[in-house]
A and B are shown apart, each in its own frame.
Chain A
């Protein structure tokens, strides 16, 4: 089942053509590795799907219905979650509050609705446990390791029953063991029928979890192949431009 389809999507920032006529589709339970050099347009593509940017041109279909997102909240309500490259965390808040940022749990208190810290801490602890991450919900993100910060950002995507999870370099700045954790999580998402787009510069990560590899070069899709049908060498060539197209 196709959960997401992009049709001829372009994005221009003034004179910069970050994306040029990109068409893609994504099925439920599929992991797509999105690769490309710095500035190739990977983050831009993911941000369009997440509702952060409007495409300059082109259309976006969710389950075969044309959709226009009015901001990230809108995309999120349509079952799309994103882990940002810089994780989009607030250092001065606790892990639990960061997980729930923008959709804090509340409870009634007389005539008021107040933030339900206890419930958020409890739920965040469950999420961290499911992620097998030693992250304490009440700790400030300021004092956390790279892997823990990652867990906080990934826990956000688990809050809702997202159909699509977008990950922008989730394994860029963490230890080997934590990389294995993140990859395990991606497999788990997949087993729940979640479609995952994984942006990564790390060949082994992509080849170990992705079903398909999409390569972007200067805003254009230059390859879209099953992982089994390609190799790290070919992908490297496509990224650098040594191989023009595949």
Chain B
């Protein structure tokens, strides 16, 4: 008799433990990125109907290429923000990377060694950021704000504040890499796609990704469970700087010239993209998809202002409002969740 009730109790417990709390659809609808994606699709559709210029292959090509750079940098920023930090130096790192590339290629180096050096310099900048944040425990905001200034200054120093627009023997190759296209998709867009998939896989399927989320949610707990918090944090800033460096190389190829104000205040668009995409500045939340969609939405807004003849001065107002709107929307939803 007793055993029988035990068995039913066991079965009941097993059923409860095995129950699915969220349906697949429920999980998707619960993501801010999903709503931002809808907003972007809606904007795209209305622009297609309102203008004859939006849905042209040329315009779509331009739109996608323009947001690809912000998108690539946003991949790194997403990881940093998930870990509970911020990286304000990305715009300057992008510039420094592009300038290292430009100067060495201008001096006759090939594309590969120049790009390798540019990325190595970027990674080093990230390493310094990360070490100061993780080991010296200076807030990421302060460290990367300092680096924002230092990295751009270095770009000016090494170039003598000149514009570099000759890239030596591999010039064509560089222009092809950053400005060309493959299967009529701009190369930076392909790069964004590849790096985006890689970043998403890293975050979702590696222990490193799990640790980044854990550190962002509860750094102390992560440390107590034995996660190498400092090392993960350093890696996060190296990753972010590397993404900025990669974007720098590609953007140099697209622009066909590098100036020392390349990437100026880019960190703001990048942070805007990640936040619109659902990353939480307090850490612990964020998605690659959201950040890329966020970057795309910003570019669609910009593009639509031009196409509708509203004037680009309004861009800041629209993007800014959207940042607040997206987060407010998320707050309201979270509030309703706790109410029910």
Tell me the A residues contacting B by CB distance below 8 Å. 52, 71-73, 76, 82, 84, 86-93, 97, 101-104, 106, 109, 112-115, 125, 128-129, 132, 134-139, 143, 156
Contacts and interface: CB of A to CB of B under 8 A. Distances in A.
Given A72-B224, A76-B226, A89 B13 contact: no
B224 A136 contact: no
Nearest to B280: A92
Contacts of B285: 92
16 contacts: A72-B224, A73-B226, A82-B224, A87-B221, A90-B214, A90-B222, A90-B284, A93-B214, A97-B210, A101-B225, A102-B222, A104-B210, A106-B207, A129-B10, A136-B19, A138-B21
Given A90-B213, A90-B214, A90-B218, A137 B17 contact: yes
Nearest to A91: B217
A112 B198 CA distance: 13
A115 B226 contact: no
Interface of B: 10, 13-14, 16-21, 204-207, 209-211, 213-214, 216-218, 220-227, 284-285
B206 A93 contact: no
A71 B227 CA distance: 10
A93 B225 contact: no
Contacts of A143: 21
Among B18, B207, B222, B224: residue with most chain A CB under 10 A: B224
B227 A92 contact: no
Given A76-B226, A92-B284, A92-B285, A125 B18 contact: yes
A95 B218 CA distance: 15
Nearest to A106: B207
A82 B21 CA distance: 29
Given A92-B216, A134-B13, A84 B19 contact: no
Given A115-B205, A129-B13, A137-B17, A92 B213 contact: yes
A136 B226 contact: no
Contacts of A115: 204-207, 209-210
Contacts of B222: 90, 101-102
B17 A135 contact: yes
B17 A134 contact: yes
Contacts of A106: 207
Contacts, number: 93
A93 B213 contact: yes
Among A92, A136, A137: residue with most chain B CB under 10 A: A92
Contacts of B214: 90, 93, 101
B67 to A, nearest CB: 27
Given A88-B225, A102-B211, A136-B16, 15 more contacts: A76-B226, A84-B224, A88-B224, A90-B217, A90-B284, A92-B213, A101-B227, A102-B222, A102-B227, A109-B205, A113-B207, A114-B206, A125-B18, A129-B13, A156-B225
Contacts of A132: 13
Among B13, B16, B17: residue with most chain A CB under 10 A: B17
A90 B18 CA distance: 21
A129 B213 contact: no
A104 B205 CA distance: 11
Contacts of B225: 72, 88, 101-103, 156
Contacts of B21: 136, 138-139, 143
Contacts of B16: 134, 136
B243 to A, nearest CB: 20
Nearest to A97: B210
A113 B106 CA distance: 42
B288 to A, nearest CB: 16
B38 to A, nearest CB: 23
A136 B221 contact: no
Contact of A129 (B17, B20, B205, B217): B17
A125 B17 contact: yes
A53 to B, nearest CB: 11
B233 to A, nearest CB: 15
A88 B220 contact: yes
Nearest first, the 9 closest Cβ-Cβ pairs linking A and B are A73-B226, A102-B225, A88-B221, A102-B226, A90-B217, A114-B205, A92-B284, A92-B217, A101-B225
A128 B17 contact: yes
B10 to A, nearest CB: 8
A128 B221 CA distance: 21
Given A91-B217, A125-B17, A71 B207 contact: no
A84 B224 CA distance: 9
Contacts of A88: 218, 220-221, 224-225
A84 to B, nearest CB: 6
A210 B211 CA distance: 36
A97 B224 CA distance: 15
A51 to B, nearest CB: 9
Nearest to A88: B221
